[in-house]
């Protein structure tokens, strides 16, 4: 009965632990304090705070009447299908004045190149990304990364996932950003769309001068007018300069058919960088001053890393608080809520989340969309490229669609709204951003000599925000640095070998504790086997009175000098390694250096990606088994379970060969743990499973050696054992502490023997 209860308790505790590891990150608060969720407003405040009609949901970026013809991406500049007739976007008239935006013909162009093998061997003289720009909203259709390294491909060579993926060219360059289609109405949305320009008009409908807008106490909120730019095709001109390519997009805003403003947007992409300079400029065309605001959307539909393992995409942000930089993230659950309509049906409600939230100190440094390994980071800067968000009045995390399902996070993005700025005939208004489109790689983000901006802005926050609440970030960073160092400096420069060497390092460090624990456990087993007859007598005498039996049993333990809790010493090495396992889990799951890093035990077939399950075979569709979905056949978890069983078989036994009931229960518990861990870690990264499995197999060798030592000690005559008391086992602090433990233990054993005699 006791064994059954123990097994049930163990199984329940492991299930609770497993559930908490996955549910905990979803319910635990994220540092720093989360921004509060607020409802979108559709008109600016009296002070001109800008949230426009595009705030709650930007206008569609693809009209239903758009061309059905295909788009050819091979040439630098192309047009798509039969062009619709140029049109205008109209704003509500004020004082008889109607604002409109001209529309040009559809056009797409390319900046950069994703060819991994141009004639130039120096990667600093290659383009690292390929941008496909669209004239609608002056937006980005897609972004591809040049596969300078194997980890920038969609899949590693030989991976069967490539055969199952119907959307991506399996071994082509990694597609970081895509356009997105709404499920409900078919609207198409793109990254970095300029959504609108908001213009302040005077009481008669003309342009308001700077002096007018600054009249103290004057309410001008009803005279701001929004001109939609997201649904309109801009003119696009591409040009090349030494070391870089530039695309200039422009659109004209008219008042009663007369040119009033021109909005110019420029993308600049240089060789050897993941950075894109994005500049917005508003010019006056009618010779009058104007007050304007711009609304700029961020990236959308960043690539979903692994749909079967959950959607890890989210919005990251960084706040500058004094000299410190605080990072955080916003997930879908914070921007979406449900409410019931008049008929009682549930309706999805999209709630913009401000950055920073009300009551949160600090200025926004950057915002980003990202997945496990890649990110699109947008940082406001000044004319000299220095960090400056003073021209930004509001930043919000938003959803663009009501899409649901496995791809529901695709439309999660953010938008910037600029402050009201004066545009004079000779002084345009400017808004500038640095846009990073690339991998979340430590060699980029922690390299202040080559990439000082990344380090100064703490782009590492996009990696650290992926750590679960139970991970101590410094330990995870230490594990990452150790792995990278072992890979870079130890032949044959293989990540699997680096993980195995790391196992040896940890095992050597913990060897004194492991040895002490096993010696203590063997001593306890011997003493318990000696007490077995007396314990049986107590059970016969007090079997009907459980409380009395427990009291007499503990009294017997005290009389014999036995502390049952001391047997927990054998669990100490595993407890000490648990933080390392968790930190390594975070490292392997979020370190792009290990993406597509293979161990290649079976070349081209097994362990092709240490950041994913080892998957010797993948099913086309998941197979349902009890409460789990099995997507592949993984070998390492079973080898790990086997290693735990073998470890139990090689555990030191008492000299008599007999084991107490308590020891038998512990053995059953270890067998149960082998099964539970095999199931729980079945879909974990193969690098983590390799680490723990290798640790167990090295532990078998260590146990064998310790067992030999224990048997030699047990076979020594008593005189030799007493003579050995007090002899130090080595030099140093660790050896000294262990010698004191051994001295105390043997003295106690000598005292007990004397009492028995």
Paired residues of 251 in beta bridges: 263
In this structure, what is the dihedral angle of CA atoms 732, 733, 738, 742, given to the nearest 10 degrees? Answer: 80
Paired residues of 368 in beta bridges: 316, 377
Output the pLDDT for position 567. Answer: 61
Paired residues of 602 in beta bridges: 606
Q: Tell me the average confidence (pLDDT) per consecutive run of 10 residues in the chain, 757 residues long.
A: 52 57 48 40 36 42 36 34 44 66 90 74 83 96 85 63 51 84 88 95 58 48 87 95 95 92 97 95 93 96 74 90 91 80 74 82 92 94 91 92 79 94 92 96 91 95 80 82 89 88 88 81 77 84 83 85 67 74 79 81 75 82 75 88 83 57 71 84 85 88 84 67 44 49 59 55
Output the pLDDT for position 413. Answer: 94
pTM of the model: 0.76
For the four alpha carbons of 656, 657, 658 and 662, in that order, the dihedral sign comes to positive
For the chain, report the end-to-end CA distance as a whole number of angstroms.
Answer: 38
Stretch (H or E) spanning 144: strand 139-145
Contact yes or no for 55/398 (Cβ under 8 A): yes
**How far is the C-alpha of 67 from the C-alpha of 82, rounded, in Å?**
6
**How far is the C-alpha of 606 from the C-alpha of 601, rounded, in Å?**
6
Cα–Cα nearest to 34, from 321, 328, 337: 328
* Half-sphere exposure in the Cβ direction for 242 (13 Å, CA): 0
Output the pLDDT for position 561. Answer: 76
Token representation of residue 535? 């314990």
For the four alpha carbons of 657, 660, 666 and 667, in that order, the dihedral sign comes to positive
Token representation of residue 489? 């400096």
CA distances from 547 to 541, 542, 543 (A): 13, 9, 10
**How far is the C-alpha of 181 from the C-alpha of 177, rounded, in Å?**
13
Output the pLDDT for position 36. Answer: 40
Contact yes or no for 194/265 (Cβ under 8 A): yes
**Helix residue ranges, H only, 40-171:** 161-164
């Amino acid at each position: 009965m006791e064994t059954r209860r123990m097994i049930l308790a163990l199984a329940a505790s492991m299930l609770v632990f497993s559930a908490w590891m996955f549910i905990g990150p979803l319910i635990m608060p994220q540092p720093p304090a989360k921004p509060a969720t607020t409802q979108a407003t559709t008109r600016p405040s009296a002070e001109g705070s800008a949230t426009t009609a595009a705030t709650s949901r930007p206008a569609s970026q693809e009209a239903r009447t758009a061309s059905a013809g295909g788009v050819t991406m091979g040439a630098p500049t192309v047009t798509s299908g039969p062009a619709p007739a140029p049109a205008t976007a109209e704003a509500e008239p004020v004082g008889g004045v109607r604002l409109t935006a001209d529309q040009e013909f559809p056009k797409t162009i390319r900046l950069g190149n994703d060819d991994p093998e141009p004639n130039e061997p120096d990667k600093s003289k290659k383009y690292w990304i390929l941008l496909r720009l669209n004239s609608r909203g002056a937006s980005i259709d897609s972004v591809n990364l040049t596969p300078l390294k194997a980890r920038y491909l969609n899949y590693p060579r030989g991976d069967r996932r490539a055969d199952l993926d119907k959307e991506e060219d399996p071994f082509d360059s990694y597609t970081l950003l895509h356009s997105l289609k709404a499920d409900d109405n078919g609207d198409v949305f793109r990254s970095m769309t300029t959504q609108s320009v908001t213009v302040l008009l005077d009481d008669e409908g003309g342009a308001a001068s700077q002096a007018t807008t600054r009249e103290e106490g004057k309410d001008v909120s009803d005279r701001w007018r929004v001109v939609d730019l997201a649904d309109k095709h801009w003119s696009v001109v591409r040009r090349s300069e030494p070391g870089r390519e530039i695309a200039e997009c422009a659109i004209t805003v008219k008042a009663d058919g007369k040119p009033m403003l021109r909005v110019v947007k420029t993308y600049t992409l240089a060789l050897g960088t993941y950075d894109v300079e994005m500049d917005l400029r508003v010019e006056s065309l009618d010779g009058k001053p104007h007050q304007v605001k711009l609304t700029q959307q961020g990236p959308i539909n960043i690539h979903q890393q692994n749909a079967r393992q959950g959607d890890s995409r989210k919005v990251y942000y960084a706040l500058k608080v004094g000299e410190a930089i605080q990072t955080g993230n916003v997930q879908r659950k914070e921007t979406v809520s449900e409410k019931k309509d008049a008929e009682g049906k549930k309706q999805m409600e999209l709630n913009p989340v401000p950055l920073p939230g009300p009551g949160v100190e600090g200025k926004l440094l950057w915002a980003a969309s990202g997945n496990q390994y890649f990110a699109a980071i947008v940082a406001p800067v000044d004319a000299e490229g220095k960090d400056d968000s003073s021209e930004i009045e509001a930043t919000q995390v938003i959803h663009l669609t009501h899409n649901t399902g496995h791809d529901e996070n695709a439309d999660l993005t953010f938008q910037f709204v600029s402050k009201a700025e004066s545009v004079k005939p000779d002084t345009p208004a400017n808004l500038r951003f640095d846009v990073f489109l690339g991998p979340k790689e430590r060699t980029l983000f922690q390299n202040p000599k080559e990439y000082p901006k990344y380090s100064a802005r703490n782009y590492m926050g996009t990696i650290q925000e992926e750590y679960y609440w139970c991970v101590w970030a410094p330990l995870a960073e230490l594990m990452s640095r150790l792995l990278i160092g072992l890979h870079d400096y130890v032949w044959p420069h293989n990540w699997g070998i680096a993980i195995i060497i790391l196992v040896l390092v940890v095992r050597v460090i913990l060897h004194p504790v492991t040895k002490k624990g096993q010696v203590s456990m063997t001593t306890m087993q011997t003493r318990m086997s000696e007490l077995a007859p007396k314990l049986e007598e107590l059970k016969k005498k007090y079997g009907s009175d459980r409380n009395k039996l427990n009291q007499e049993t503990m009294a017997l333990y005290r009389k014999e000098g036995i502390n049952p809790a001391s047997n927990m010493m054998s669990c100490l090495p595993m407890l000490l390694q648990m933080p390392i396992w968790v930190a390594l889990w975070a490292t392997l799951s979020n370190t792009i250096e290990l993406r597509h890093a293979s161990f290649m035990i079976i070349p081209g077939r097994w362990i092709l990606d240490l950041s994913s399950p080892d998957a010797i075979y993948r099913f086309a569709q998941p197979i349902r088994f009890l409460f789990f979905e099995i997507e592949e056949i993984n070998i390492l978890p079973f080898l790990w379970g086997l290693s735990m069983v073998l470890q139990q078989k090689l555990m030191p036994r008492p000299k008599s060969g007999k084991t107490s009931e308590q020891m038998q229960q512990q053995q059953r518990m270890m067998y149960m743990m082998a099964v539970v861990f095999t199931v729980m870690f079945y879909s974990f990264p193969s690098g983590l499973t390799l680490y723990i499995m290798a640790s167990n197999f090295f532990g078998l060798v260590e146990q064998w050696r310790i067992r030999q030592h224990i048997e030699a000690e047990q076979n020594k005559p008593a005189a030799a054992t007493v003579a050995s008391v007090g002899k130090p086992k080595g030099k140093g602090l660790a050896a000294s502490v262990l010698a004191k433990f051994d001295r105390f233990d043997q003295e106690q054993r000598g005292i007990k023997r004397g009492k028995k005699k």
